[in-house]
Amino acid sequence: MKKILAILIMAVLLAMPVLANIDLVNDNIQISVSKAAVAPVIDGKLDADSYQKVNTSAGDFLYYGDDEYMDFLQKSVPDVYISYDANNFYVFLSGDATKYYYCDHDDPDDSGNIWNQSCIQISAATKASEADARLELGLSRSHEKGVLVSHIWAGELDLVFGQNCAVLLDGGKLSYEVAIPWTAGDFLTKAPKVGDVFGFNFIYGWSDGGNRFGVEYSAGCCNGKDPTLFAQVTVTDNVLQGAPAWVAPNIKIGGGTSIIKATDFDSGVYGKAPADGAKDIRPNEEVNTENGAGKAEEVGGNIGWIGKGDWVQYTVNVDAAGTYGFSAWIASDASPTGNVEVYVNDKLVGASEKSLKQGWQAYSLFPVGNIDLAAGKNVVKVVFPAGGLNFCALEVVSGGIDIEAPPAAPVEAAPTPAPAPVVSVTPARTGDAGIIALSVAMIIAAAGVVIFRRKAVK
Residue 407: count other Cβ atoms within 10 Å of its Cβ: 12
Biggest CA pair distance of the chain: 91
Ranking 101-115, 145-159, 163-177 by mean pLDDT, the lowest is 101-115
Amino acid in the structure at residue 338: G
Q: Helices H, strands E: what count in the chain?
A: 3, 27
Class of residue 412 by CB neighbours under 10 A (exposed 0-12, middle 13-18, buried 19+): exposed
Question: To the nearest 10°, the Cα dihedral for 238, 242, 243, 246?
Answer: -120
With 70 as the cut, is the pLDDT of residue 270 above it? Answer: yes
pLDDT tens digits for 403-419?
A: 865 555 444 444 444 44
Instruction: List, in sequence order, the alpha helices (H) in 16-129.
Output: 70-75
CA 119, CA 440: separation in Å to the nearest integer? 12
Distance CA 71, CA 69 (A): 6
What is the pLDDT, as a whole number, of residue 175?
85
Per-residue pLDDT tens digits for 341-353: 999 999 999 999 9
Q: What is the pLDDT of residue 456?
A: 30
Task: Give the distance from CA 209 to its chain's centroid.
Answer: 24
Contacts of 232 (CB under 8 A, 6+ apart): 28, 29, 30, 31, 197, 198, 199, 200, 450, 452
Q: Considering only residues 452 and 339, tell me which one the structure prediction assigns the higher pLDDT.
A: 339
Contact between 334 and 171 (Cβ < 8 Å): no
Question: What is the spatial distance between Cα 457 and Cα 445, in angstroms, rounded to a whole number?
Answer: 24
Contacts of 384 by beta carbon, 8 Å cutoff, 6+ apart: 306, 307, 308, 309, 310, 311, 338, 339, 340, 341, 391
Mean per-residue pLDDT of the chain: 74
E strands, 112-184, are 119-125, 134-142, 147-154, 165-170, 173-181
Q: Among 391, 259, 386, 359, which Cα is nearest to 316's?
A: 259
Domain boundaries, the chain: 18-242+431-443, 251-398
Structurally, at CATH architecture level, domain 18-242+431-443 sits in: Sandwich (2.60)
pLDDT digits (tens, 9 = 90+) for 209-251: 666 677 788 877 777 777 777 778 888 988 887 655 566 788 9
* Predicted pLDDT at 457: 30
User: Per the omega criterion (within 30 degrees of 0), is the bond before 78 cis?
Assistant: no
Q: Which fold does the domain 251-398 belong to in CATH?
A: Jelly Rolls (2.60.120)
**pLDDT band (50, 70, 90) for residue 195:** confident
Please tell me the distance from the alpha carbon of residue 237 to that of residue 283, in angstroms, as a whole number: 23
CA–CA separation, 330 and 441 (whole Å): 44
For residue 74, what are the contacts with CB-CB under 8 A and spacing of at least 6? 58, 63
Coil, strand, or helix at residue 398? strand
